[in-house]
Copies of this chain bind each other. A is one copy, B any other.
């Protein structure tokens, strides 16, 4: 290890952390290695410009700004000692100098947008109702005592008692005892006069043995492992009720905000894979403890955990290299569902407990999409239904009782604030809804937790762009309207044009919050990806169909889908032109899918069947993709016939 005097101390504010800096590491590495969750889209490659920080004291000790910083920071910022965390470090000659003159003050300020905390996480959703038939059941039995004449071993006496107690077909019943259970038998049996409770997994695997009657203490936990957020639902398996819910940010975010940057970070590196695996497991185990504390139970009373997540989250969570999901032809290691002992994957529930991981559909359509299908029961709808799950990744499902197809579009991240100048995720201080007065272009907005604005999240961006369209600040092609170019709310610089949403004196970041020309392009690309993706899947289904299939209803799943203004989403052309009453916001449908698999094992068979049956469409390689995508770049679409009910556009077209 490093000797004690080979390090320098740096203070970080406002988080009040004093960290030991070692030679040759960047500040970004230092923060990440210290477990501080920071923003980065590129995983520290210097290309996203999100890891901005302010050197408040000791700037002279740092390396001079790099080319990457000169490109991504304004001159003003550079003069104020703003740096990119992934680009700055203590200069080598300075390092040695500082060592000789112990502990000069070096203080770094981390802007609020940079440190990840205080997020709004969607945990609720609509459950279509489910029969209770869990994989884990408990049974209380009285066991015969042994005697010298027939000194039958403990296990054999327990099996006899179990067979005579339960209603299982005796001929077919061959109970097997897990090793973890065997260890408990001698003491459990004798603690309460040979009265014990056995826990049965899949009806015949005995995974726990407790003294006395513990039938009521039978819990399961369902997890939704999102790219950005983690949610755990603690359920009682004997009555199907949710006892508590806890959520957290996915700490992997510090290593890259989206799945692609996390794959880039890992890229065949076992150690880095293990690092991302460890951080998410630690967070999941914290969630287990939190839900248990709230429900006043012990984690040892949880016998099964179910998991949904996109393919990359799925792989990393299981400590399986996701590298090849990121390389053409984008295949996962496997897509089958998985039963595995919870302890094998370091999930800390009962030592004999199991984990069930839902099946994937394809490389970029994961178990989370399977969860959406299971909970929304799109395959039982007579009307053709489009479901989109807008998380950090976007998944599209189209189906009904006859057909079912999915595809994915790497479009969600713009809707979570990535690549958007003032974009951020749905955390405290994010502008989430807004309206523009067309008469004076004044903006009324709301923020999450009513905090002073820091930036704008997905639903706010959609509102902003839709309102800018309605106010004619921008045109259907996404360009700024020349008519307003001299308006006081419009600024023009460096070949970019920006519309000011909030003036800097009203923000807590001490600069204007704006929507720029580039931001609008990002949104156009995102919404075009969703719309054209849905079109391509629909076209594919129609090719094989006699009559033309038409989308009759829309399910919006995921946090983003739950908060957006349906009309505005339609107005910008992100989703097809369907009456509002047929657009349903179904909440965290993926998480409900995980819950339902916990409560009723029949859904696992269904998931297995669906995983084989669902058609997967590789949208980006479809012949018509370029054309569909280009047309969908317009607001709402190049061809207004796609959106006949949006009569407001008649007015816009007149400009």
Contacts and interface: CB of A to CB of B under 8 A. Distances in A.
Contact of A146 (B148, B331, B334, B618): B331
Interface stretch (A181-189, A459-467, A494-502): A181-189
A330 B151 contact: yes
Contact of A148 (B154, B329, B341): B329
Contact of A331 (B154, B336, B616): B154
B268 A187 contact: yes
6 contacts: A146-B329, A148-B329, A148-B330, A151-B329, A151-B618, A183-B319
Contact of A179 (B156, B324, B338, B621): B338
A151 B363 contact: yes
B151 A362 contact: yes
Interface string A144-184: 00111001111110000000000000000000010110110
A350 to B, nearest CB: 15
A338 B176 CA distance: 10
B148 A333 contact: no
A323 B147 CA distance: 16
A320 interface: yes
Given A151-B618, A153-B363, A179-B345, 9 more contacts: A146-B331, A148-B618, A148-B621, A151-B330, A153-B333, A156-B336, A180-B344, A185-B333, A185-B334
Contact of A186 (B146, B155, B320, B618): B320
Contacts of A362: 151
Contacts of A23: none
Contacts of A333: 153-155, 182, 185-186
Interface of A: 146-148, 151-156, 177, 179-180, 182-183, 185-187, 190, 268, 318-321, 323-324, 328-336, 338, 340-341, 344-345, 360, 362-363, 616, 618, 621
Interface centre among A147, A180, A320, A335 (most CB of B within 10 A): A320
A136 to B, nearest CB: 19
Q: What 9 A-B pairs have minimum CB-CB distances, sorted nearest first?
A: A155-B334, A148-B329, A151-B329, A146-B331, A186-B321, A179-B340, A153-B335, A154-B333, A153-B332
Contacts of A147: 329
A341 B618 CA distance: 40
Contacts of A341: 179
Nearest to A180: B344
A23 B151 CA distance: 44
Given A148-B618, A179-B338, A179-B344, A154 B186 contact: no
Contact of A156 (B183, B318, B334, B338): B334
A243 B321 CA distance: 35
Nearest to A155: B334
Given A151-B362, A329-B148, A183 B335 contact: no
A153 B334 contact: yes
A183 B318 contact: yes
Nearest to A618: B148
